Amino acid sequence: MKQQPRQKGPRLRLIQGGLEARTVRNGIRVEVAALDAPAPALDAVVVEDDTWAVLGADPQLNDPGIPLEQALKDAESFQPWRPGSLVVREGQPVELLAVVHDLDQSPTWREEWIASTLEAVFTVAAQRGLRTVAMPLLGTIHGRLPAERALTLLRNALDAQAEGWPRKLWLAVPRDTVRQALRALQVE
């Protein structure tokens, strides 16, 4: 019997990591994944933010590509966003800034703001034909909204969609809550 040549390098095998789970809700494929799981190719990313654009800001300093005087003038003229609104920032992928916090209030978030931005996310996805959108559980990244309540708000927003957009929602949650989040989204 002829022996097969030995492969060089480590032997690799597939293991079940529990990084993601899938369900369909109102025609939208929802993939629940751990926050640290690699995301698929995306059309848009939802970022939890506040009225002054502080929480969603990139902590890394980057050259704004404009003169300092212009940057200061832009900062001085900035008007705070309305809580519950969605700000679209062009790019690849598109950033959808979910304004669910007002840092002048305590708590900084309100359920009605989260519900409003969720509705806006799905509306913008339909208007722009955004097929794949990634988002965290709004209200849980910079706020203390219980995950169960955030999932209920998301489930309600998904059920209210008539368009079925986006086609795929990549929901990022803490690793130890992936299965719980999936079960909450499957509740009728």
pTM: 0.84
| Residue 116 pLDDT | 98
User: Residue 11: inside a domain, yes or no?
Assistant: no
- Distance (Å, whole) CA 125 – CA 31: 16
User: Residue 153: inside a domain, yes or no?
Assistant: yes
User: Residue 89: inside a domain, yes or no?
Assistant: yes
Residues 6+ away with beta carbon under 8 Å from 180: 147
* Containing structural domain, residue 41: 20-56+66-186
Domain count, the chain: 1
User: Residue 3: inside a domain, yes or no?
Assistant: no
10-34 pLDDT tens trace: 444 434 455 569 999 999 999 999 9
User: Residue 119: inside a domain, yes or no?
Assistant: yes
| CA 160, 165, 168, 173 torsion-angle sign | negative
> Residue holding tokens 């832009």?
74
91-142 pLDDT tens trace: 999 999 999 999 999 999 999 999 999 999 999 999 999 999 999 999 999 9
Q: For the domain that residue 42 is a member of, what is the CATH number? A: 3.40.220.10
User: Residue 13: inside a domain, yes or no?
Assistant: no
User: Residue 12: inside a domain, yes or no?
Assistant: no
User: Residue 169: inside a domain, yes or no?
Assistant: yes
